[in-house]
Structure 1
Amino acid sequence: EDAFTVLAPTNDAVLRFYEKKGVTSIEDLGYEYARTLVTYHVINDSIDREDFVKSGELPGRTLSGDALKVSFGNEGGDKSVYINKEAHVSELAIRTANGRIYVLDDVLSPAVETIYARLSDKGNYKIFCEALEKTAWSDSLSVVNSVLEGPLGMRVELRKYFTVFAVSDAVFAQEGITSFSALAAKVGALTDDYELPNNELNRFIAYHIMDGEHTLESLRTFSKPFDRETWEYRKMLNTRATNDLILISENGLNNGVKFIEEQADEIVKNGYIQPIDGYLPVKTDFEPIPVIFDFCDYPEVSSYIAAKGKGQLYQQVSRDDDDTYTALTKFIGRQEIVPQVSSYKIEMGPSGTLASDWSYLSYCTKGANTSGNWTKLMNNDALVVNIGYNGTLDLTIPPILAGKYRITLYYAYDPSMKFIGERGEGSQAGLTNFRLDSKRLAGGDNKRIYDGKTGDVQDCFNTPLTSNLSGEETAFEFTTTASHTLNVVVVDPAASSHNKFRMYFDYILFEPVIE
């Protein structure tokens, strides 16, 4: 049954909003804006009080496809709940037959502006905006939707999101930068071919842009492997500048630049604006640090789940008791199996798979009542792979700093897969080959991932990809800081002969080896 959460402004709030807009009725706003305004106040899910008052993004998108963020005023408690730092919530979780109503003392301003439009309107980001225009990044930051095209006319339209580390004119002035030309000179742009990716100004601006939606909380969150609890807080952020990374730690960005917290998390139609308090030049001389590659951590997957997901929320525990699965592939023309996101490339094994409940590629989030040790899943999710004997899966791993690494695969297990761990019913324990950039891994050939995994509860495990069966380790070396291609080939015959065969991939850990 359909269930909704309605954020209902009071009559006084609506009248104040009309006055602010210079109109006297909703008709005066125009059909498109009025529709956006209404859909921005309705969430296609019933959110109870307990989930609503958790700080951060609400667990559900509005009918307009936007995220809303809950925060608290200085008073604290339920009386100081705000949405988007704009609308005070005066009554919470009024029950109705088909959902909940939350009463607002203010109307929410719908996110109709893009990142570039909002920054331009502010007036105090003139240098940054001119740099966006001259480098053509203003065009990218004006995009709201992207389209993935495939065979036989396949089209998948998804929302496009960015996060921008915005630098105001006042912050630039602290560095002696008072004009666009001064910025171009400061970064060492020797020519005015600013639209070229290798131009230093283009690289500088791209260094301030990330794909995807990143709140301040998510940027500061550092997920640790379940067997590495003592790690300190630090991680690398991937930017739109090819192979250029930002170190974020307790000392800020690149050990100095901080977020302006009172201005953080400004929501716009295509992402977040995160103002920073300092000049952030491109930095390349980092020492290698541990890197986690999550099989599902792609902005495109996030957008797909928000638009097409089976009621689940990206990287959050399913609100259903059971685990929730969303297929990431479709039959096109009844003959071709095509991923619906460009993050994954698959080729089915020649023998295919048996009909089963498992799609060829699925996004899984653990259920509210998930048993066993699935609580150890990174970001509450896993990629479910079911591509048949000799099926292949290719994924792009974001840039990793040059150096030698110990590589470990983390994965999940369900009791219905016990036959795999027992090497029964034609299975070879999940036999799989792993390659990085077409190079073999010391422990990645004929890897029996699930060997001996026969428990009666859901669980999470890990296995080294750079150690052989004798435990001898051969670190894998990345000679340059760059993105990489992970190639996975399933060579377990049961992948084509058993209707319960599948594998759950969680993440890969890359740990620097200091010699």
Structure 2
Amino acid sequence: MKAKKQIGRWSILIFLGWVLTWMSSCKDGFEDNTYTAYDETPIGLYLKNNADEYSLWVQVLEKANLYNTLNLDAIYTHFAPINAGVERYLKTINLGSVNDMTEEQAAYLVRYHLIPHAEIEFAQFQSGAINELNATDDNLFVEFRDGGLEAVYLNGVSRFNSYDIRATNGIIHSIDDVLVPLVETIYDRLEERQDWSLFRELVDLTGYREKLETVYTETTDPMGNPIQQRFKYTVFAVSNETYSKAGIQSLQDILDKLEVSAGGDYTDPNNLLNKYVGYHLLAQQRSYADLGQFPENVFKMNLQTMAINELVKVSESGAGLVLNKNEETQESISFLEMNIACKNGVVHEVNDWMPLFSPEQVEVIWEFTDYPDIEANVSQYRNTNLGSQYNKTFTASELTNIIWSARPEYKQNVLTYRNNRPTEGNWYNLLNHDHLRAELGESGWVEFKGPTIVKGKYKISFIWPSPKHSSNTGICAFVLDNEMLYPRLVISNSREERNLTQVLGTVDFTETTDHTLRILSLDGHLITMDRLQFDPVE
């Protein structure tokens, strides 16, 4: 998704400061800073000039003291409800007029309908979560229903009635109804759906409830200051009706089906009931569209579940995505309901009780930025519309899937996440536009806990952004599962900044399990890392 240049160079630097004042200011802080460009208009003014459609929403903007924010020289995508939708919303919350709202209510509502820093056109929508977060740090979800352009919905409740209304500072999409900000967690969704009661009971018994009902995890930074980490999950839910079709009516039935003794410790990750429930969970949010993001010329992939060393297979079919397709029988699991949005992730309902499945070998992408704890600690994680380069340097306490030992041990700024903007050429062209950078010192190392990979023989390739340098720098070695894989690779090159690929060797995994990769720094200079690729060898 392409973001346009901001007109004023100063706007990027002070925008974050402006955002912090949105919900605390008693006066619209930008009423003297608005602009127009000839016969074009910014978002706020456009909405005011079209009062027959948006006058009530303009009242909400003004109540929130954010009207002039939407006239700033900046970049936004704004979802604007029409008057009839605002009237329905006020009636739903038992208010007689916009004036009866508090400033805080109005401000949160406006922020929920606003995506800063990005212009997102209709052509860029796909079924599932919009990658760019709105101003309340949430994903909004697009749903395409039968009926073409007249049946596209936002968060499953508000129909789009007009797309791509151009303003001087962004894009407006007109919607029929006000979006009610999501507060329901995944566990809330499981509770409110009585037809999922058995699955919810299994979640309770196996100890996954706490994760699925938590939005923010409270922790501290190295200085002892409180910080919040936000983890998101994906759930493949099974209804009581689907269980019934498999002969499962109760907890005892499923224990019998799994051959699990009643009364055991179901919270033990090695318990078969625990593994069964964990198999229905992914440790990151994956909308339906995300599940279908296959590598080029690949039409199936295996995803790591929260069950130890268990994979769910996702495949393309003529009718959309399916799970755990048996290549011999052609049987598979379909989606009954997709993209049920939650504050901490997404739920999909499947048409099978979905027992553990052993998939075949497929191409595996081990991306070094694809970890839940990286996503939880990065504010611009995989944002495709950056106005400026984003860097996040980690401390050891922030990550559990990546560890390192620097030289000297007290060395700072060892591991950095970088997300690149569209103008940065080969750096932006990396997978998901991001990568990791390590400066470990001579003889330092960084180690990654990797994904579960189906047993078999694979060719392993390393892909990285190679910086231009007059002499060899960033010399490193690769150790896979405590065995030397490749003894010497030079990260830099003398020609130009470019993305390179090096085959590291061939391995034969004798069991389906996860793996560890250690990268050793031989000269202490910068090491840039994007991903490993495992290609099955016949």
Q: TM-score range by the shorter chain?
A: 0.7 to 0.9
Is 1:209 the counterpart of 2:281 in the alignment? Answer: yes
Q: What residue in structure 2 maps to residue 76 of structure 1?
A: 148
- Give matches, 1:161-200, under 5 Å: 161-193=232-264, 194-200=266-272
Q: Percent identity?
A: 28
Paired residues for 1:148-159 under 5 Å: 148-149=219-220, 151-153=222-224, 155-159=226-230
**Offset at 1:64?**
2.0
Query: How far off its partner does 1:103 sit?
Result: 3.0
Q: Which residue of 2 aligns with 1:242?
A: 308
Q: Give the deviation of 1:408 after TM superposition.
A: 1.6
Checking the alignment, whether the CA contact within 8 Å between 2:304 and 2:451 is kept in structure 1 is yes
Shift of 1:51: 6.4
**Can you give the 5+ residue segments of structure 1 that lack an aligned partner in the other structure?**
330-336, 467-474, 496-501
> C-alpha offsets along residues 47-106 of structure 1, whole Å, 9 cap, x if unaligned?
2546665665335212221101234454434x5542123212334455567554433211
Are positions 1:401 and 2:472 aligned together?
no
Q: Are 1:275 and 2:349 matched, yes or no?
A: yes
Aligned-partner residue type, residue 433 of structure 1: A
Number of aligned residues: 456
Tell me if 1:303 matches 2:303: no
Contact 2:302/2:311, CA 8 A, preserved across alignment: yes
The CA distance in 2 between the partners of 1:105 and 1:392, in whole Å, is 54
Deviation of 1:301 after TM superposition, in Å, equals 2.2
1:483 equivalent in alignment to 2:508: no
Letter aligned with residue 212 of structure 1: Q
- Contact 1:116–1:141, Cα closer than 8 Å, also in 2: yes
Instruction: Tell me, in whole angstroms, the C-alpha distance in 2 between the residues paired with 1:33 and 1:240.
Output: 37
Deviations, residues 314-372 of structure 1 (Å, cap 9, x unaligned)? 1x54444x7x232232xxxxxxx54644443233322998x9xxx6433333432343x
Matches within 5 A, 1:42-53: 42-49=114-121, 53=125
Letter in 2 for 1:454: S
Match of 2:81 in 1: 9
Give the Å deviation of 1:121: 0.4
Distance 1:486 1:512 in 2: 18
The answer for the alignment partner of 1:509 in structure 2 is: 533
Within-5 A mapping of 1:340-351: 340-350=398-408
Q: 1:98 to 1:118 in 2, by over 3 A?
A: same
Task: State how far apart, in whole Å, the 1-side matches of 2:91 and 2:361 are.
Answer: 55
| CA RMSD between the two structures | 3.1
Q: What TM-score does the superposition give when structure 2 sets the normalisation length? A: 0.76
Of 272-281 and 241-250, deviating more is 241-250
Q: Partner residue of 2:423? A: 369
Separation in 2 of the partners of 1:51 and 1:95?
14
1:49-64 alignment, distance < 5 Å: 49=121, 53=125, 56-64=128-136
Does the alignment pair 1:106 with 2:177?
Answer: yes
Q: Is the 8 A contact 2:118 2:385 kept in 1?
A: no
Distance 1:483 1:389 in 2: 28
Distance in structure 2 (CA, Å) of the matches to 1:365 and 1:182: 49
1:258 aligned residue: 333
Residues in 2 aligned to 1:189 and 1:276: alpha-carbon distance in whole angstroms: 23
Query: For the Cα contact (< 8 Å) 2:77–2:118, is it kept in 1?
Result: yes
Q: CA contact under 8 A between 1:191 and 1:199: conserved in structure 2?
A: no
Structure 1 residue 448 and structure 2 residue 490: aligned? yes
Q: Which moved more, 1:270-279 or 1:382-391?
A: 382-391
Partner residue in 2 for 1:332: none
Q: Secondary structure at the match of 1:326?
A: strand
Aligned residue for 2:483?
439
SS of 1:250 mapped into structure 2? strand
Aligned match of 2:8: none
Confirm or deny: 8 A CA contact 1:188 1:201 kept in the other structure: no
Measured at CA, do residues 132 and 273 of structure 1 come closer, stay the same or move farther in structure 2, by a change above 3 Å? Answer: same
Contact 1:163 1:214 in 2 (8 A): yes
Asked if structure 2 preserves the Cα contact closer than 8 Å seen for 1:291 and 1:510, the reply is: yes
- Report the 3-state secondary structure (helix = DSSP H, G, I; strand = E; otherwise coil) of the residue aligned with 2:528: strand
- Asked if the contact 1:352–1:388 (Cα under 8 Å) also holds between the matched residues in 2, the reply is no
Residue equivalent to 2:193: 122
Query: Is the counterpart of residue 220 in structure 1 residue 244 in structure 2?
Result: no
CA contact (8 A) 2:122 2:164 kept: no
Tell me by how many angstroms 1:273 deviates.
0.3
TM-score, with structure 1 as normaliser:
0.79
Contact 1:211 1:240 in 2 (8 A): yes
Distance 1:361 1:101, change over 3 A: same
